[in-house]
Structure 1
Amino acid sequence: MKYSLRQLEIFLATAHHENLTLAAKELAMSQSAASESLKTLEQQFDIQLFDRAGKSLKLNELGQALRVKAEALINQAKALENDFRLHTDIGDIKVGASLSIGNYLAVNIVAQFMGENPQATVSLEVENMTAIVHKVKNFTLDIGLIEGEINDADIDTQFWRKDELVAFCSPNHPLAQRGTLTEADLLNAQWILREPGSGTRQTFDWAMRGILPELSIAIELQHTEAIKRAVEANLGVGCLSKITLEDAFKRGTLVPLAVPSRNFERNLYFILHKDKYISAGIEKWLALCQSPEYVNP
């Protein structure tokens, strides 16, 4: 074999940082050694993986194509090494979750997973759906939990559980006493919504098809809690996942509003890169997420 796993690690770290100094630092080696290893890899196969501009290294088309395969191979090699060392013990897994899932579901799952697997380490990143998909696609995350629909040839999407959005307002809002929104109410309301690119906004826009351009969207915010606070302050009407609102409804700080003319049901999904090696840790994570307490709470 004309290449080593170490050369692939250097290639991938350089592709991630687009800088040899940072790549070498990540791998605890000298910059000169990293540079020489990368140069040797390219010379061995008479190829160029990066476009070089000063100290910046940008993956070219060939580098982009080979990066995915190199990531998959390194992941499998790490899993094999872990199996050699720990038999079937679970190592580190990197999970990404879109905001509603990350803040209201995933934290409890992480706690239970680590309680059941004390040797495991789980890192959790919480961002909007677009960011999570990007990081799964680039192997920065092992698995993602998202709230919206995607169509990407590199991503394997698996159904997880049902969810639904709920419209809501402040107890002091004029609509609070009525409890149900008509089509006219939808058009007259001042909406406080998640930003475009989020799974929640995708579902809301789909549910409002036909009248979406006519809606009055007063505020767009990236964080669920900020939307809840704005609605509590009587600045408008919101629409978020039911899982994010249950406590506020119980306390009476927010009031649910039925919208019989619109369908706010949606699915939550697992996403993995189609070339991702499914380690023992990922298998156990999926099994825990699919247990009745998280699928049918």
Structure 2
Amino acid sequence: MTIRHLRIFVAVATAGKMCDAADQLFLSQPTVSQAIKELEEHYEVLLFERLGKKLYITDEGKKLLNYSKNILTEFDNIEKRMLEMSSKKSLSIGATITIGNCILPYAINDIKEVYPDIHISSCISNTKVIEEKLLTSELDIAMIEGNISDPNLISIPFLKDSLVLACNSKHKLAKKEELTIEDLKNTNFVFREKGSGTRELFEDYIQKSKIPINVVLQSNCPGSIKNAILINNFASVISIRLIEEEILNGDITIFRCSKNLLDRTFKIVYHKDKFIDSVMNDFINILKNYEDSHRLDNLPSKKLLVFK
């Protein structure tokens, strides 16, 4: 039994529903359910009666609730007083490359407005590397564009993104109003490296068509990918956020995938056992309130990429 168990228990008892408690604590519902199960097994009592979709606290649960509230109040007072002794706050943030270029700088500015003296360290890499650093506690929290498979990590969707097929305005593909996969057969591509969420999403889709894609250059640098599109006459599948300026200038033509098949959602990720202090909680709320999709939806060069 830990402080974390008691905090989850109090949240469930107060909310009356597992799902509401999970939302309040930024946890998944299975994590909350497991914590309650572990408490019940530890004390060998039933803490809640489950009738329909509603939870009703038992007499044993009411006793534990009273004890838990007192313990958590004392614990929070200890935390507050000890942290006040050292006013220096810190946050270690990870971000995958697209997010690191487009979202992270603004998110850091926003959290520094709340905590002007905060020390922030950041790591920008691909999804695989960021996942490993979260699991080894090298990072407090991260923003990723790929899929997380480890059950020890909690993932919260927070922002929509779109991958688009991009080429420079003089490329042969730019002359077309509509593309099919067949049109991409003899096109030279620049792609992100293996382990990238961007590459993974496109490869998962393209494998279904069984059309070979000619990748002549790999890079984990958005700037070099843009240069390869603009200067080397390569095509790429890239986040629309990374080429917004070039689209507006008319230097790059984009093809959007029909049926939103290359749309994705950026996610906030942290370890399920991570203690969420005030800094981390505020940072999560900053990210959850970030919204700019309406601007991206209205970008020019709205050509349609049809995958048949």
Task: Please tell me the TM-score bracket, short chain as reference.
Answer: 0.5 to 0.7
Query: How far does residue 252 in structure 1 lie from its aligned partner after superposition?
Result: 2.0
Query: How far does residue 188 in structure 1 lie from its aligned partner after superposition?
Result: 2.7
Distance 1:87 1:262, change over 3 A: same
Percent sequence identity over aligned pairs: 25
Q: Distance in 2 between matches of 1:216 and 1:181?
A: 17
Query: How far does residue 211 in structure 1 lie from its aligned partner after superposition?
Result: 2.8
Matched with 2:147 is 149
Matched with 1:29 is none
Matched with 1:135 is 133
Instruction: Tell me which amino acid in the other structure corresponds to 1:269.
Output: K
Distance 1:114 1:212, change over 3 A: farther
Matched with 2:160 is 162
Query: How far does residue 210 in structure 1 lie from its aligned partner after superposition?
Result: 1.4
Compute the RMSD of aligned alpha carbons: 2.5
Please, what TM-score do these two structures have when normalized by structure 1? 0.68
Matched with 2:100 is 102
> 1:130-186 CA distances to partner (integer Å, 9 max, x unpaired)?
111110110000001000112102211111121110111011111112143212112
Tell whether the 8 Å contact from 1:89 to 1:280 is kept in structure 2 after alignment: no
Distance 1:140 1:217, change over 3 A: same
Higher mean alpha-carbon deviation, 112-121 vs 241-250, is at 112-121
Tell whether the 8 Å contact from 2:167 to 2:234 is kept in structure 1 after alignment: yes
> 1:35-58 CA distances to partner (integer Å, 9 max, x unpaired)?
xxxxxxxxxxxxxxxxxxxxxxxx
**Structure 1 segment 146-225 matched on structure 2, within 5 A:** 146-211=144-209, 214-225=212-223
Distance 1:87 1:264, change over 3 A: farther
Distance 1:105 1:225, change over 3 A: same
Instruction: Tell me which amino acid in the other structure corresponds to 1:169.
Output: C
Query: How far does residue 226 in structure 1 lie from its aligned partner after superposition?
Result: 0.8
Q: Distance in 2 between matches of 1:125 and 1:271?
A: 14
SS of the residue corresponding to residue 150 of structure 1 reads: coil
Tell whether the 8 Å contact from 1:182 to 1:259 is kept in structure 2 after alignment: no
Higher mean alpha-carbon deviation, 86-95 vs 167-176, is at 86-95
Matched with 1:44 is none
Tell whether the 8 Å contact from 1:183 to 1:261 is kept in structure 2 after alignment: no
Higher mean alpha-carbon deviation, 191-200 vs 177-186, is at 177-186
> 1:220-252 CA distances to partner (integer Å, 9 max, x unpaired)?
111111111001014321111111111111122
Q: Distance in 2 between matches of 1:104 and 1:114?
A: 17
Query: How far does residue 86 in structure 1 lie from its aligned partner after superposition?
Result: 2.3
**Structure 2: which 5+ residue stretches go unaligned?**
1-74, 296-308
Distance 1:185 1:90, change over 3 A: farther
Report how many aligned residue pairs link the two structures. 220
Tell whether the 8 Å contact from 2:159 to 2:291 is kept in structure 1 after alignment: no
Please, what TM-score do these two structures have when normalized by structure 2? 0.65
Matched with 2:237 is 239
Tell whether the 8 Å contact from 1:90 to 1:280 is kept in structure 2 after alignment: no
SS of the residue corresponding to residue 195 of structure 2 reads: coil
SS of the residue corresponding to residue 208 of structure 2 reads: coil
Query: How far does residue 206 in structure 1 lie from its aligned partner after superposition?
Result: 1.9
Distance 1:262 1:284, change over 3 A: closer
**Structure 1: which 5+ residue stretches go unaligned?**
1-76
**Structure 1 segment 79-118 matched on structure 2, within 5 A:** 83-86=81-84, 91-118=89-116
Q: Distance in 2 between matches of 1:271 and 1:193?
A: 25
Query: How far does residue 121 in structure 1 lie from its aligned partner after superposition?
Result: 2.0
SS of the residue corresponding to residue 214 of structure 1 reads: coil
Distance 1:249 1:117, change over 3 A: same
Q: Distance in 1 between matches of 2:107 and 2:121?
A: 12
Higher mean alpha-carbon deviation, 84-93 vs 113-122, is at 84-93
Tell whether the 8 Å contact from 2:96 to 2:127 is kept in structure 1 after alignment: yes
Matched with 1:258 is 256
SS of the residue corresponding to residue 85 of structure 1 reads: helix
> 1:71-113 CA distances to partner (integer Å, 9 max, x unpaired)?
xxxxxx9x96565232997810100000000011111110121
Q: Distance in 1 between matches of 2:294 and 2:284?
A: 15
